[in-house]
Chain A
Amino acid sequence: MGIHIEWKDEVLIAKADGRIDGTNAQEFQRELETAVDTSTHAMILDLEHVSYISSAGLRVILLTAKSLLKKDAKFAVCSLSAQIREVFEISGFDKIIAVHASQTEAIAALKN
């Protein structure tokens, strides 16, 4: 698991890769907490290169969504593989977290 942070149009983009599970969820949480701290009003978590996410990883995404909500910042995830989209759909997370097909689409949605 790794996370790459970049800024696009004043939106913080956190791009994760690899497997996110119980063995690295804490590291994932630390990285995202740092991102949340620096993010001013919008953050996108790009999951394109994430091959697997367990419930431990979903919990970290939920924590991130909650902390951004608290500081009135917007949050979205994008570029989910079919498998990860299914995890989001089964758990119902797609109903409470904005899911977009691509970064471009997510940025456009958050800027509105």
Chain B
Amino acid sequence: MQHPYKILVVDDEPDLEPLMLQRMRRHIQAGHYTFLFAKNGLDALERLNQDKDIDMVISDINMPKMDGLTLLGRIHEINPHIPSIVISAYDDMKNIRTAMNRGAFDFVTKPLDFGDLHLTIDRTLTHLREWREALASHDNLLTLQNELNVAGKIQQSILPTRFHETSDYQIVGQMDPARNLGGDFFDVLHLQNGRIGLVIADVSDKGVPAALFMMCSRTLIKSAAIGNRGPGDVLCTVNNLLCDDNDVAMFVTVLYAVYDPKNGELTYANGGHNAPLIVHADGRSTLIPMTGGIALGVMPDLQYGQETVTLSPGDILMLYTDGVTEAMNDEDQQFGIERLHEIFAASPPKDSQECNTMVFEAVKAFAGDTPQSDDITCLTFHRKEAET
């Protein structure tokens, strides 16, 4: 139960204290209020400084040493959250206005009507209680916000940031989340015989549920990819595992590709993800054929077909999420795949880093001030020209 509210009454009339205690005795006995009394503004300030538990103040205006209007200003300095009720002479609008302007919550007039005073006190305390609840919610929100920021950092930290580079290839990946927690991710896996696994994925929705599903998907893909299994097989296994107990119908679109440096072959399987682009050295870009797979987590026991293409020396493979192609501008247009073809044709990127930078800058320039509504992710793999 709420402890009794502590109310400081400030008045130079000696009669007020016994009268107040007598007229409010039922509320005091019921444990609603307790009263403290001060003789003037200075006395009241001293009480407020000594006793930090005082919840509200009821003050007369005309008093020796320090008047009620001055007191109101000073209370605000001690604790701006303590509400005050002023007692004014009947018809003294000028002082009432001044009191309200200095932050008084309400006023009552003399001669005191204790029934009205009781209602006014209760209204003030209700306001105080709601205000305190709002402050507490605000604090909880800040804590939650802080936790989300930390979770976002953890999520970013599991994405690869340093990429293995050989004389044959270069890899660069980047994810810009729309909120603290994203649903996109990418991964680079080092498989047997120098083969490289490239993963790009997009979990339905964003926020905490997406982040949890993303962590789970990433780990499953990583473990299923170990060994010599084909991409189609890997997606099939991960899909079945994700479908177990997936009552919330979360799903993830995944493109998983394995590059073999022996012959430049890229074998891939697609689970409902956007088709990657190959950007050729001359700036032409083409979408690689889709394999017709369904997003993972939707339905168990699905087969995932796979395809193989050969990357020529100089080719750049660009894996991306729909945050790139569905980025909106202020005219409600989508960035689209055509713009990607155009920017690469206009200025063929010479390596992965340049390709990634071009994409992020083009999307940013296109979107302008339109807020980013989806995570934007790009994982770019460049098969280098043979050194001569």
Contact = CB atoms under 8 A, between A and B. Distances in A.
Contact of A62 (B206, B249, B292): B249
A48 interface: no
B300 to A, nearest CB: 12
Interface string B267-304: 00001111100000000000000101111001100000
Interface stretch (A5-13, A72-80, A86-94): A86-94
Contact of A63 (B202, B249, B272, B326): B249
Interface string A37-63: 000000000000001101110110011
Nearest to B202: A55
B180 interface: no
B183, B248, B253, B298 pick with most chain A CB within 10 angstroms: B298
A59 B296 CA distance: 12
A51 B206 contact: no
If over half of A's interface residues share one DSSP class (helix, strand or loop), that class is named, otherwise mixed; here it is helix
Interface in A86-104: 90-93, 95-96
Interface string B163-204: 000000000000000000001000000000000000000111
Contacts of A55: 183, 202-205, 251, 253, 322
Contacts of A51: 332
B373 interface: yes
Contact of B273 (A56, A59, A62, A90): A90
B318 to A, nearest CB: 16
B11 interface: no
B206 A22 contact: yes
B250 interface: yes
Given A21-B373, A22-B206, A55-B202, A90 B274 contact: yes
B262 to A, nearest CB: 31
B213 to A, nearest CB: 10
A64 to B, nearest CB: 9
B374 interface: yes
A25 interface: yes
Contacts of A23: 373
Interface string B194-237: 00000000111111000000000000000000000000000000
B206 A91 contact: no
A99 to B, nearest CB: 14
Nearest to A51: B332
A92 B305 CA distance: 13
A32 to B, nearest CB: 12
B373 A59 contact: no
B246 to A, nearest CB: 10
B205 A96 contact: no
Interface in B336-381: 373-374
Contact of B251 (A25, A52, A59): A59
Given A63-B249, A96-B299, 7 more contacts: A22-B206, A55-B205, A55-B322, A56-B205, A58-B251, A91-B294, A92-B293
The 5 lowest CB-CB distance pairs between A and B, nearest first, are: A92-B294, A56-B205, A55-B204, A91-B272, A59-B204
22 contacts: A21-B373, A25-B205, A54-B205, A54-B326, A55-B202, A55-B205, A58-B204, A58-B251, A59-B249, A59-B250, A59-B251, A62-B249, A62-B251, A63-B249, A83-B334, A90-B253, A90-B273, A90-B275, A91-B272, A91-B294, A92-B272, A96-B298
